Amino acid sequence: MNTEIRALMGARLRLERERLELLQPDMAALGDVKPRTYQDWERGIAGVSAEFLAVVAAHGVDVCYIVTGERTGSAEKRLSEDESALLKRWRSGSPALRGYLQEMGLGPGSGGNTVAIGGDVGQQVNGDQTVTGPMTFKVGGKRK
């Protein structure tokens, strides 16, 4: 490992330790290494071991950040506001809501062209609607 990479990883290791509000001896103990070894890693004198990273990951350390400089979940930060809201709703939603959102993903916006609405008569769609291209709507079933 070259000196520049060791220095970058050491600096990020220090930032992660500070984010977790730990002292160097505490972080060393968390990863089951000697304090001197940990200090060398933060200084960039030696490369951080994979074993240490695997152990501290279970304690909330962002290993991806230490290794790559990119925070875990930072891809989500590149989402638009609408995409972030949808993802947040998905994660906090019930299984029924997730199923609904999945079905919506299979609807016309994703290449399909059929919308089936079942259930009792009197179903309606509220709000702004945009329908493009040929579509087939099947409402209800056979008359009795």
Summarised one tens digit per residue, pLDDT across range 81-105 is 888 787 788 788 888 877 777 777 6
Q: What is the CATH number of domain 3-74?
A: 1.10.260.40
Question: Structural domain boundaries of the chain?
Answer: 3-74, 79-111
* Spatial contact of 54 and 68, defined as CB atoms under 8 Å apart: no
In total, the chain counts a number of residues equal to 144
Distances (CA, A) of 20 to 8, 23, 49, 85: 19, 9, 19, 28
pLDDT, residue 29, reads 94
With a cut of 80, say whether residue 124 has pLDDT above it.
no
**Region of poorest pLDDT, from 12-21, 42-51, 61-70, 109-118:** 109-118
pLDDT, residue 113, reads 46
H helices, E strands: number in the chain? 7, 2
pLDDT, residue 144, reads 56
pLDDT, residue 39, reads 95
pLDDT, residue 104, reads 73
3-state secondary structure of 116: strand
Give the bridge partners for 116, in sequence order.
138
3-state secondary structure of 20: coil
